[in-house]
Chains A and B, each alone.
Chain A
Amino acid sequence: MSEGERPQRQRVVLAHRRGARMVRTRIEVQEQTQVGDALVRGLVRAQLGLALRLGAVVVFAVAGIVVLNRAAPDLMVFGMRLNWLLLAVLAYPLLYGVGRLYVRLAEQGEKDFVRVVDSEP
């Protein structure tokens, strides 16, 4: 903690009301009640949507590379042929970047899900 900062004020209450609720919503997910099932469906839909969107980015990029290589086979960029630059060098950072973004967003989605399940209604 740096010098200028003070510890944040905390409200102290007698009992944590969250505990009881948390167990109840968790059980709803575990026992597959209507509420629990709806929550899981929402999670699956969100994660699938995320994966499909990022998958589409890669598909468009790949289609773009194929089309570009056919349309301009002799284009030079930075002293290298564009087709070699794209496929031998730039494709890999693209794949890693998309993967990294996915891991971040998917973990975020899961955190949100756990928060909804554990939160007060």
Chain B
Amino acid sequence: MSGSPLTAAALLAAAVATIVIGSWGVRLSRTTSDFLVASRSVGPRWNAAAISGEYLSAASFLGVAGLIAKYGADALWYPVGFTAGYLGLLLFVAAPLRRSGAYTVPDFAEFRLGSARLRKVAMLVVVIICVFYLAPQYQGAGLALKTLLGMPVWTGPLLVGAIVITNVVGGGMRSITFVQAFQYWLKLTAIAIPALALLGLFVTDRGDLGGPLPPSVDRETTVQIETDIVVQVVDPSGIRVTGELDGNAVRDATFGTPGEHTLGAGTSLTLAAGAATPVVAGTPGTGREWISSGGGLGGDHPLYQVISIIVATFLGTMGLPHVLVRFYTNRDGRAARRTALAVIALLSLFYLFPVLLGVFSRLYVPQLLITGTADAAVLLAPGSAIGGVFGQLLAALVAAGAIAAFLATSSGLLVSIAGALATDVMRGRVRDFRVAAVIGGLIPIPLSLLVADIELSRTVGLAFAVAASTLCPLLVLGIWWRGLTAAGAAAGLAVGGLVCGGAVLVAITGGVDETVLGGWPAVMVGYPAAVSVPVAFATMIMVSRFTRAAPDVAQVFARMHVPERLGMGVERLPES
């Protein structure tokens, strides 16, 4: 599919705006404190918009709608969980973390437990989480540029990588605060207007969402299959196949019987007007299955999947280094709380729209459900459902929002990687920060090209699972439990990181066969959080029980919990 010049112009405009606003911040950035924590002078409103802008990644912008179009009711837990994560952060982490005066997560680990070795372990975990999270952003950028402009997949990661590295190297945290706040409002506009336009279409022409039939196309449609895929056909009438069907070369043939069929790469399907759309195997085919809860997201044990998604997303946010680092830029603990609350409001507003887009994509462009790249739904739905100049404008707007999503999240992740590497591996000068940013921005590029074919929201969900099984227990126990020891924390980080990180590596490189042992190994690898989070908490608590706590824990607790007015806070900064 080749893109319209309008779309290309919108992409370019979003990218240029990002660089220009970023360079506005560069003039304000002087010291290491500017680079790491924007000199701790960002107000709750700017900060909440910046946090939301940074947080709403490709997974939220494209992935949530794609998952909802594909799987229906149970996918609604992803946006709820992505928002609820901030409630967890607000309740258990925000204010004490800010009052600790730390400037990165590893710095917090050293402040709380007084161990330089633990600091290194935490640094390693931070870098791993950020790389796991950065790879799907780059992957999404590749997908978007390919879908919109027909460019090769590797150009997306390279372009996004280059822009992000330039911005972060230029101005660090000061600079990206403005960029990210701008990007929240850009993303909200870019998703709200198309969603509302489709809502208008829906109100004038009500379709049947929960009916017994699969979604159908309203005019003759041709779909190209680009990778081998198994589809589920509910009603084969009106569908012609040319290419490879169930291993045989066919020309203008029908599916014959309902059920699962394999389509080879290069096959094209022609759907007559009113024909029921086949869907990717393992996803709900009929409207009734799609609209009811309890179907899960493909594979066995749907209830376990839902619980695991809830655990990973509710607890994962408080372990995401790029989110935590923004909380250090608040003025004080009270502002940190208010920021978290404002973020919940901004996210609640935003997530209304991907849900709408997902629903309407299923209704108006069901042919996207055949190819398996449902992530592209948001990009293509407005243009193909509405058509005309207005449709093209909407498509261009969505494209600008998508590029903003990749850029904002990637910049935040890169600042975290660079902050951790610069202060803990190098000597913490501004030059070190810049070198670290270049290195950290390049590593995920090859990884993003290797990632197997999983939906963006699920890859990001896996990064959340790693965060929930490592940094979340470290922070929650470190802030509230005096008995935590350096040895316990290190053991918990290692066990949680290995169990969950191992599962993620297996999942993104192909997964486990679903027939082994009743499907449990497959579902646990695909959704590891419900197992790995309790294991990580238990390890930290058990090992801490058998080791001795640091002697000055009372002083540390007073600093984290006593309000700033009593004058106990000390701001930490790297020695350089």
Contacts and interface: CB of A to CB of B under 8 A. Distances in A.
A99 interface: yes
Contact of A74 (B292, B338, B562): B292
Contact of B565 (A44, A70, A100, A114): A114
Contact of A58 (B76, B87, B345, B561): B87
Nearest to A55: B91
A32 interface: yes
B344 A99 contact: yes
B84 A30 contact: no
Given A29-B566, A92-B348, A93-B348, A99 B561 contact: no
Contact of B554 (A32, A48, A51, A93): A32
- Tell me whether chain A's interface is mostly helix, strand or loop, or mixed: helix
B83 A73 contact: no
A57 B306 CA distance: 19
Interface in B75-96: 76-77, 80, 83-84, 86-88, 90-92, 95
A59 B562 CA distance: 28
A93 B349 CA distance: 10
A86 to B, nearest CB: 9
A29 B77 CA distance: 44
B568 interface: yes
A40 interface: yes
A43 B77 CA distance: 34
Interface string A93-121: 10110111011001100100110010000
B293 A58 contact: no
Contacts of A113: 562-563
Given A40-B558, A66-B306, A69-B294, A58 B73 contact: no
Contacts of A29: 558, 562, 566, 568
A91 B80 contact: yes
A99 B348 contact: no
Contacts of A44: 480, 557, 561
Interface in B448-476: none
B341 interface: yes
Interface in B37-84: 73, 76-77, 80, 83-84
Given A43-B561, A62-B310, A66-B306, A73 B293 contact: yes
B92 A87 contact: no
Contact of A30 (B351, B563, B568): B568
Interface string A44-68: 1001100100110010001000100
Q: Most chain-A CB neighbours within 10 Å: which of B77, B83, B210, B566?
A: B566
A50 B557 CA distance: 17
A29 B567 CA distance: 10
A88 interface: yes
Q: Most chain-A CB neighbours within 10 Å: which of B303, B334, B348, B351?
A: B348
A55 B91 CA distance: 8
A95 B563 contact: no
B340 interface: yes
Contact of B73 (A30, A40, A83): A83
A93 B88 CA distance: 15
B73 A99 contact: no
B348 A40 contact: no
A107 B334 contact: yes
A24 interface: no
B337 interface: yes
Contacts of B294: 69-70, 73
Contacts of A84: 73, 76, 291
A44 B566 CA distance: 15
Contact of B84 (A51, A58, A74, A102): A58
Given A73-B292, A99-B90, A114-B565, A92 B83 contact: yes
B91 A54 contact: yes
A36 B558 CA distance: 9
A89 to B, nearest CB: 8
A95 B210 contact: no
B293 A70 contact: yes
B292 A51 contact: no
A81 interface: yes
12 contacts: A36-B558, A43-B561, A43-B562, A55-B92, A69-B294, A83-B292, A87-B76, A87-B80, A89-B352, A92-B83, A99-B341, A103-B338
Interface of A: 26, 29-30, 32, 36-37, 40, 43-44, 47-48, 51, 54-55, 58, 62, 66, 69-70, 73-74, 81, 83-84, 87-89, 91-93, 95-96, 98-100, 102-103, 106-107, 110, 113-114, 117
Given A87-B73, A92-B80, A95-B83, 7 more contacts: A30-B566, A30-B567, A83-B73, A83-B76, A98-B87, A102-B337, A107-B334
The 3 closest A-B pairs by CB, nearest first: A69-B293, A92-B348, A87-B76
